[in-house]
């Protein structure tokens, strides 16, 4: 599936601020399952963007704006061709719980079995995870059951949590948004020894009535590690195995390691933030001459105010 994404974040400050330092994770990777056709990130006021690969192999841009400014605009645009990873007629069963201890010795798995900033491992979370597992001996079956439990038992409600809400609180209150549901699923999985990582990105709602939750903004889901299959995506917000409608931007232990925008500035506290995200499906096949007419294809655009779902940004004032 060929997807085009436009992500725009704008801050307005009541008084001039300065010494803004920011990191961005807005650049989709090239993998076996998604091929980047183009991608670019821009910043206003104009600033030189530098980049590096973080410990999770995410392309991370960073920039500094020392001069005073009252407005900051960050935009990313990308076109990516995605492929379906999971065979929906033959789900990846066959990796058993008795085999999970081997994951502790795999470099790619070990970090995703540990506690992290927003994901704790407590006896209570472990007990609840065991209850959800029931008599399952298959890791994919258990992971699917955890995803299904969160979808059915948790209430999707914007504004009920913040970007700093930890998994334990989400599990206790059973309320939140896609970020919270992903943290809860990661916590359940790690508690019983399943390597699980947090994924940020976007997805295109291909349903006729556009009823899926989270398609109007940046989205979060979970990948679990299955020996012989690799990392398999599960979306507890929509009770869905990840398919070609999903576009990965970054992976990490939790939200802190994948936040699309994070930074600090010097000046008076408070700012007005507006976020817009557009995800469009383009006709399949090569793009001739760049742009195609996509006015007849469905897409979503949303503006998010300061007090609504904090799906993207974490910028702090330093006084």
Encode the chain (319 residues) as per-residue pLDDT tens digits: 999 999 999 999 999 999 999 999 999 999 999 999 999 999 999 999 999 999 999 999 999 999 999 999 999 999 999 999 999 999 999 999 999 999 999 999 999 999 999 999 999 999 999 999 999 999 999 999 999 999 999 999 988 998 899 999 999 999 999 999 999 999 999 999 999 999 999 999 988 777 888 776 789 999 999 999 999 999 999 999 999 999 999 999 999 999 999 999 999 777 899 999 999 999 986 644 444 433 334 333 333 333 333 333 444 444 4
Pick the closest to residue 297 from 284, 314, 309, 310 (CA basis).
284
Q: Is 71 within 8 Å of 13 (Cβ atoms)?
A: yes
Q: What is the pTM of this model?
A: 0.88
Tokens 């979503």 correspond to what residue? 300
Domains of the chain (ranges, CATH numbers): 2-82+259-318 (2.60.40.2250), 97-257 (3.10.620.30)
Strands 261-266 and 313-318, by their bridges, are parallel
Q: Label residues 19-42 b or e (16+ Cβ within 10 Å = b).
A: ebbbbbbbbbbeeebbebeebebe
C-alpha dist (Å) from residue 247 to 75, 201, 265: 17, 6, 30
Reference 140, options 96, 183, 197; nearest CA is 96
Half-sphere exposure of 150 (CA within 13 A, CB side): 34
């Amino acid at each position: 599936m060929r997807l085009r994404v436009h992500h725009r974040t704008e801050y307005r400050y009541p008084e001039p601020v300065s010494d803004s330092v920011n990191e961005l994770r807005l650049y989709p990777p090239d993998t076996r399952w998604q091929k980047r056709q183009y991608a670019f990130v821009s910043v206003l006021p104009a600033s030189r963007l530098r980049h590096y690969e973080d410990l999770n192999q995410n392309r991370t841009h960073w920039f500094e704006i020392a001069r005073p400014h009252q407005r900051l605009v960050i935009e990313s645009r990308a076109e990516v061709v995605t492929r379906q990873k999971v065979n929906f007629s033959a789900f990846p069963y066959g990796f058993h719980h008795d085999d999970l201890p081997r994951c502790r010795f795999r470099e790619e798995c070990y970090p995703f079995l540990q506690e992290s900033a927003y994901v704790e491992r407590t006896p209570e979370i472990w007990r609840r995870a065991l209850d959800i597992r029931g008599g399952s001996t298959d890791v994919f079956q258990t992971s699917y059951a955890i995803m299904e439990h969160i979808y059915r038992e948790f209430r999707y409600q914007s504004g009920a949590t913040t970007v700093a809400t930890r998994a334990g609180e989400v599990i206790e209150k059973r309320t939140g948004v896609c970020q919270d549901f992903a943290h809860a699923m990661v916590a359940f999985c790690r508690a019983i020894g399943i390597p699980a990582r947090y994924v940020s990105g976007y997805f295109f709602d291909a349903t006729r009535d556009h009823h899926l939750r989270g398609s109007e903004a940046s989205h979060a889901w979970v990948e679990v590690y299955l020996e012989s299959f690799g990392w398999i995506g599960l979306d507890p917000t929509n009770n869905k195995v990840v398919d070609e409608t999903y576009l990965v931007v970054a992976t990490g232990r939790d939200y802190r390691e994948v936040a699309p925008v994070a930074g600090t500035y010097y000046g008076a506290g408070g700012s007005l933030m507006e976020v817009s995200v557009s995800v469009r499906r383009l006709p399949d096949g090569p793009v001739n001459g760049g742009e195609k007419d996509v006015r007849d294809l469905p897409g979503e655009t949303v503006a998010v105010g300061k007090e609504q779902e904090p799906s993207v940004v974490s910028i702090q004032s330093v006084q």
